[in-house]
Structure formats: structure tokens, C-alpha cells
Structure 1
Amino acid sequence: MTDADLVPLEALVPWLDAKGVGSGPLGSVGFLTGGTQNVLMRFTRDGRDYVLRRPPRHKRDRSDDTMRREARVLAGLASSDVPHPELVAACTDLDVLGCVFYVMAAVDGFTATESVPDAIAADPARHRVLGESIVDALAGLGRVDPEATGLAGLGRPGGWLARQVPRWAKQLDSYAQLENWPGPELPGLTEVSDWLTANQPGSWTPGLIHGDYHFGNVLFDPETARVAAVVDWELATIGDPLLDLGHLLATWPDPAEPRTRGLAVTLDALPSKQEVVARYAAGSSRDLSAMPWYHALACYRLGILLEGTHARGCAGKADPVLGKQFHAVAQSLFEQALTVIEGATCTGM
């Protein structure tokens, strides 16, 4: 079964006409694949390339709300210096396609998860540019003023930091309802949780966060190796932007860790994690003294999320092979968290 029936052109074209999104027939219609479960259809009209994004075939309870949220974020980012796809039009009328959807300008680029263009791979200078650019884009996101961009109501910043560990612990506990899951075989689970609870930063500054910032959600320009657009904004909210930096650190390529290959391509001249933090600090006024805490929290959060795929795989509700792979990555992330905690303890955090 293809996704073509999810975007009937006889319903879409009149809507595009009404919104002034080009004129005439659609050309080069095709569906994109990737890590997202949402449906992405690329098409051309009047010589311009667009991408339509809608929920998956089997919508979740909040799928339409997620589409509204993403469109709102893209609209808010229009006045920022954060590279992102331009929002062209959004549809909240369920009578058109049976769901909320939006159309954005297409962005040509590549994700640096498993490979990069040969010209970039052969040029250490562009390795450096690629690594610094993904950090610079994130620092720019951390500078976005939610009030000025109309995004202040996107989340609940009050108590946000204190809610993180209990929230993800509850998520992990919920997997016990899935049959055949052996339980959370994650190294240092209690130790990491206890340390995060005991060392939560006493103060922080709310801001706009992406919620899933890593190489797989960033498109790079194939010529310059700079960030062309940050994509997949479905988890965006108002929280602590330093968690996004922690997430980038947690998923930064480690040539010595085979379990995490595929999260990001290994390039010889990428900045080190220490250089990543320093680069972010140069573009931010935020206090990074508690950065090990955010790094460990990101490992904890992402590890629990990936363990969910393993639990669903055990229950026959997800690909069991993928579930085992994600379980291995989750274990690696918890081991990474323990290393971060050990280093923070030694330096007196």
C-alpha cells in the first residue's frame, strides 16, 4: 500500500489554488522516506518545489495537534536566524484531507547520519564547517525570544526542569504493560536517575527547544556543508535549550562506540565534544556550568525513548530487529551517562 491515497490531488489542488500556492498542474509528485512516521509528499508547481507534511495513515490521538504545533513553530521562526523550512500554508480544515497538514518550501540537503557527499567526505575543512554549523544553528535557536515570535504559549515552563526525571521514569515504567519485555536492562539506571535528581540545576532560563536535536533532523547544504534547515519540529516546546545541547552531545559520533553508528557519520575533523560546548558558549549568554547534568539527562531521556521500541518489539508491536538495535543504543547511552557523571563528580559539580 502506498501513501498516494492519503493526499488525493483532486482535494489538494483546489485548496492550493485558494491559498495562492502557485497555479496549474502539480509536477514531480513523489513521497519522501526517512526517519519520520509522518507522510511527506514533494511536488513542483509553477517552477517552485514544495513539501506537504501530514500525519501517518493511522493517526494518533494528538496527530492533528502535532501538525498545528509544527506549523506554528515554523511560522514563529520566520523572523529568526535559525535555518528552517519556510512555512507556505497550513490547513486545519479536516474536510480537505481528513487531517491537519501544512505545505513548506522544499529544502535540498542531506542528513549526515550514515554518509555525506564524497566532496565533503574528502575535505577535512568542511568536516569542521559541518560540525560547527550544527552547533551554531542550535545556539541560534537558544537565542530565540518566545514572546517576540508568538511562541510563548507553546509549553509550560513552570517546573519544567523538575518534571523531567519523573516523567521519563514513568514512561519507562509504562513499558511493563508490554508482553515479553524483560524489563529495563539498562546499566546504572538507578544511579543515573538518583544523580540527576540530586544535582538538578537551581536556576535556568526558559526558551524554545527543538526536543530532538541531532544529525538526523538537520539538512546540510551539499556544497558548503553548512546547515540548510533544521527539520522535524514535532517535539518543540518551551523548556531549557541546554537539553538540546545535551542531546547533541549524547548523539555526537564516537568512532569507538559501534552501537551508536547510524546516529551520525564519523568524520575525522569534526569538533570534539569539548569544542562543541565551547562553540555553543561563544554564541550564547546561557550559564553552561551545569552542562554535564544536561548531557546526562539527554542520555537518560533518549535511552528510555529508544527502549520503548525494544519493548514494543518484544511484544510484536514493532520490528524486533530494530528493537534490539535500539536496546543496544540505549545501553550505550546509559553507559555514556555514567561516564559523564563520573567526570562531573571528579570535577566537583
Structure 2
Amino acid sequence: MEWSWTEADSDRLVAWLKARQLVPQDGRPVLKIIGEGHSNITTLVELGDSRLILRHQPVIRANAPDVLREARHIAKLNKAGALAPRVLAMAEAGEALAVPLYVMEHVPGIVVSGDLPEPLRQDPRGMAHAMIDALADLHGIDAAQITSRPLYDPEANRTHFAMMRGLIAKLDGHEGEALRAMAQQLDDRVPDAARQCVVHSDFRLGNLMWAPDLPPRLVTVLDWELSTTGDPRLDLGYFMIAYPAPGITRTPLQDLGRALYQADFPPISELLARYAGRTGRTLADLHWFAAFVAWKTAVFYVLSRQRGEDRYYDDDAHCRAFLGASADHLARRDK
């Protein structure tokens, strides 16, 4: 997402932060856009030893991710003991900027968004185990602390699938045809939903922050804008298409996490077995969930490209890769 701070917006934000005593009164904070997100903007606010993280929408638009919903959700996760940064303040549109925003604590650590750094490179198995353990622990949180909605609905996966299918019903061109053809294959034996838990919905290497020493240890999980409650296998399916696996088409999510190709990380089967042992869950139909999430992500990429708001989505090879991974996982469903 292309966006930059203007002097006027910076002045308004700094005044709002100082009025709430979130930054020192003396001096002017430095604002630096960070991260690799393609929807909401993340900014590091730095003044001396004081550091904060700001999240906001780039513009007001009907289909923009609700940044305040994200903040309220994280605040509930904070109370439930989830591994998430602490929310410090929120502002409606017009209070600090023309768009809504929230402020959270800065958690020091390493985000692996490029090559695999030292010393983490020395223990790829420890990293992989820490990743899947964090996902298992997130799924172990009592979701009743997060939502008042019913947590058991056997039809939830079919409802989710139907909603996504509706988004492409009138999509033109070869991509629309390809997405509808894959949807037809996914429609065969949609699994009943398991009891819902808190799902992150974007749990991958680039959204994790690591301690700077060994053994590998996560200090927080980032980017909760898509988090909700749902079947835990949706998160596992996403993790599967973001983690390298022989015989499965490489996805853009794996390109974002290219560090996973730079050391001897354990196979995905080892991590899924570890998750099952840690949670006690029965992991049926995981290849369907991986296929569904790959297809769903292709849908989002195509729709994002049509809106023309971020050049990251301009490459139509992204859609082909996700659909390739979806087909590969469906082919393994009955093996």
C-alpha cells in the first residue's frame, strides 16, 4: 500500500499523542512506516527511548479493514493472555487523523521479512516448533472470552465457503472462470465445522516477532486485522500454504517467507503432528482446508488488484500460484 506522512498529518498526530501523554512532551517524534502490510499502515513512533506502534487505515473506503475492530479484538486477546502487543489507545476518524487509528506498545524483537538472520539460522527446528506451538496456544484460548457468538455451528464452513463463492459469481475474465472452476471442486464434501476457536487468519513467518537470542522464542504475534473466531483448521490450512512442502506449488506467501528455504526446517508433517499432540485435536481434512484457504487467498488477491489500490497485487501470477497450490492439496485429500 502506497502512503506517506504529510507534515499536516504528522502535526495532528503528534498533538494527539502528547495530549494523551503517550509520548514525551519535549521534542518531536520521528514517524517511520514499517512492515510489509498491504491494507492498514503500520508506523513506528520514536522519540528518544520512547517507542510506540501506530496502526491506521490509509483512506476511508467502504471495504477497508476496520482498524478499530482490530484494536478492540486485540484488547480482548490481551485480557485473555494471548501473545499480542498491548493496545494503549484508539481514535475515531477525525479525532487524531481523518481516518481511525490505534496505538499499541512497541515490542522489541526480530521480524523475519527477508533473509534468515543470525542467530535464528542456527536452529530452524526450534523456530518451526515455536511457530506451531504459538498457533496451538492461540487456539487453546477460551474463545468465549472473545466473542458472544455460538462457538459450535456444523454449517459454519459451508456458510464461509458460500460467502466467498458469492464474491466471484460475476467476476469477468479467465481468472473468474478459473476461480469458479476451483470452487466447484471444493464444493465436494465441505467438512463440518469443528468447535470454533480464536483464529489469526494470517499466521506466517512475517507476522511473528522473535527474541534476539537462542533458543528461538516468540515475543509477540503481529497483524491481527483478519483475526476472528472459526474452525482451527482454517489457520492450519493457511500455515500449510505459507510453509514449504515438496510437491505443492509455491505460493506468494512462501515468497514473503523465503527465509524458510534458507535452512533445514522440518517438514510440515512434523509440525502438524506436534500441533495435534499439544492440542489433542483430531486433524481431519487438512488438505481440503489448505486447498480452500489457497483458493480464498486467490480470490482476495484478484479483488484487491481490481480495486487498483496496491501494485503488489498487479502480478496475475499470484492467482495462478494459489490455484495451483489449491489443486495440489485437493489431489492429496484422499491419498
Q: TM range, normalised to the smaller chain? A: 0.7 to 0.9
Which residue number in structure 2 is paired with residue 275 of structure 1? 270
Q: Does 1:134 align with 2:127?
A: no
Corresponding residue number in structure 2 for 1:32: 34
Tell me, yes or no, if the aligned pair for 1:205 and 1:240 is still in contact at 8 Å: yes
Contact 1:187 1:334 in 2 (8 A): no
Instruction: Sort the Cα spacing of 1:331 and 1:93 in 2 relative to 1 into closer, same or farther, 3 A.
Output: closer
Q: 1:339 aligns with which of 328, 331, 335?
A: 331
1:231 Cα shift? 1.4
Instruction: Compute the TM-score of the two structures, normalised by the length of structure 2.
Output: 0.84
Q: Deviations over 1:112-171 (max 9, x none)?
A: 4541114333x1xx20111111111111110111333xx214799754222122122222
Question: What is the distance in 1 between the residues matched to 2:12 and 2:57?
Answer: 16
Q: Cα distance 1:21–1:217, how it changes in 2: closer, same or farther (>3 A)?
A: same
Matched with 2:51 is 49
**Structure 2 residue 137 is the aligned partner of structure 1 residue 147:** no
TM-aligned CA distance change 1:317 to 1:61, over 3 Å:
closer
Contact 2:205 2:257 in 1 (8 A): yes
Paired residue for 2:204, among 214, 228, 237?
A: 214
TM-score by length of 1: 0.81
Provide the residue aligned with 2:74 in structure 1.
Answer: 74
Which stretches in structure 1 are left out of the alignment for 5+ residues? none
SS in 2 for 1:189: helix
Does the 8 A contact of 2:197 with 2:231 survive in 1? yes
Q: Distance in 2 between matches of 1:156 and 1:100?
A: 30
Letter in 1 for 2:230: G
2:14 aligned partner, one-letter code: V
Alpha-carbon distance in structure 1 between the residues aligned to 2:324 and 2:210? 27
CA–CA distance in 2 between the matches of 1:155 and 1:174? 32
Q: Which amino acid aligns with 1:297?
A: F
Q: SS state of the match for residue 44, structure 1?
A: strand
Native 8 Å contact 1:155 1:237 kept in 2? no
Change over 3 Å in CA distance of 1:52–1:6 after alignment to 2: farther
Query: In 1, Cα distance between the equivalents of 2:91 and 2:321?
Result: 37
Residue ranges of structure 2 left out of the alignment (5+ in a row)? none
2:196 is matched by which residue type in structure 1? P
Q: Does 1:246 align with 2:247?
A: no
SS in 1 for 2:316: helix
Determine if the alignment matches structure 1 residue 226 to structure 2 residue 221. no
8 Å contact kept, 1:31–1:40: yes
Residue 16 of structure 2 is matched in structure 1 by 15
Q: Cα 1:166–1:106, aligned 2, differ >3 Å: closer, same or farther?
A: same
Q: CA deviation at 1:284?
A: 1.4
Structure 2 CA distance for aligned equivalents of residues 174 and 212 of structure 1: 27
Aligned partner of residue 183 in structure 1, secondary structure: helix
Change (3 A) 1:120 1:173: same
Paired with 2:200 and 2:113, the residues of 1 have a C-alpha distance of 18
Which residue pairs with 1:300 in the alignment?
295
Amino-acid identity (%): 21
Q: Deviations over 1:9-54 (max 9, x none)?
A: 4322342234331322333332224133322221224622111111
**Which residue number in structure 2 is paired with residue 85 of structure 1?**
85
Q: CA, structure 1 residues 9+264, in 2 after alignment: closer, same or farther (shift >3 Å)?
A: closer
- One-letter identity of the residue aligned with 1:135: I
Picking from 135, 158, 173, the partner of 2:169 is 173
Give the direction of change, closer, same or farther, for the CA distance of 1:32–1:139 in structure 2 (3 Å limit). same
* 8 Å Cα contact 1:188/1:335 also seen in 2: no
Pick the aligned partner of 1:287 from 278, 282, 292.
Answer: 282
SS state of the match for residue 168, structure 2?
helix
Alpha-carbon spacing, 1:309–1:337, altered in 2? closer, same or farther (3 Å) = farther
